Amino acid sequence: MIALRQDDCLDVMADQPDKYFDLTLCDPPYDWPEAKRNQYHAEIKRITRGAIIIFCPPENLWQPRCNQTLFWIKPTSTKNTSKSYSRFVEIMQVWNGPVWNCGRHWTQYTNVFYDLVDSTDHPYKKPDSMITRLILNHTNPGQIIFDGFFGSGTTPRLANALGRDCIASEIDPLLYAEVAAQFPEEIK
């Protein structure tokens, strides 16, 4: 089951029961103030029984503490040159859950990712290979993933392909419409 909603993820999370999701995998806006991050993080913790993985920049961590920090070393990109130094590293903060699929090859557990984005259809797209690895490491088939900022739809698309359920939201109506059009009507 893939459920897509065109709504603010805070409103979507308010509709979810406590400890419902096996993985929350989100890429929220990087410029949010601390108070807003704290508000959203409290709701993410409420709805998630499993791992939480949040993308953020090194200069504006989502939360000051987490269980583990992962690093995505990104390829050269013009969108990274708005400041005096380009940002070629993004951080994933991880709060561990009960599922850790340790039977995979050791190369799947590195905390440094060098995956390349396979298309430029969205300015903040994450690589399919990296998101696939995170989903496979932290969930089992049939489990439920939450993505409150689905952007180009990478997480719901890959969750569906990997046999996971996903509830995902996007506040931008144009992005929502583009992604929703990719899914058959019966799974939205």
pLDDT of res. 185: 62
Along the 188 residues of the chain, how does pLDDT read in single tens digits? Answer: 889 899 999 999 999 999 999 999 999 998 999 999 999 999 999 999 999 999 999 888 999 999 999 999 886 555 555 555 667 888 999 998 888 887 878 788 888 877 777 766 655 678 899 999 999 999 999 999 999 998 888 999 999 999 999 999 999 888 778 888 887 765 55
**Domains along the chain with CATH numbers:** 2-187 (3.40.50.150)
Q: Can you give the pTM of this predicted structure? A: 0.89
pLDDT value of residue 11: 95
Long-range contacts of 175-181 (CB under 8 A, 24+ apart): 175/122, 175/150, 175/151, 176/4, 176/6, 177/6, 178/152, 178/153, 179/4, 179/150, 179/151, 179/152, 179/153, 180/4, 180/6
Gap between the Cα atoms of 124 and 49, Å rounded: 27
Q: Looking up tokens 């969930």, which residue turns up? A: 139
Between strands 144-147 and 89-95, the pairing is unpaired
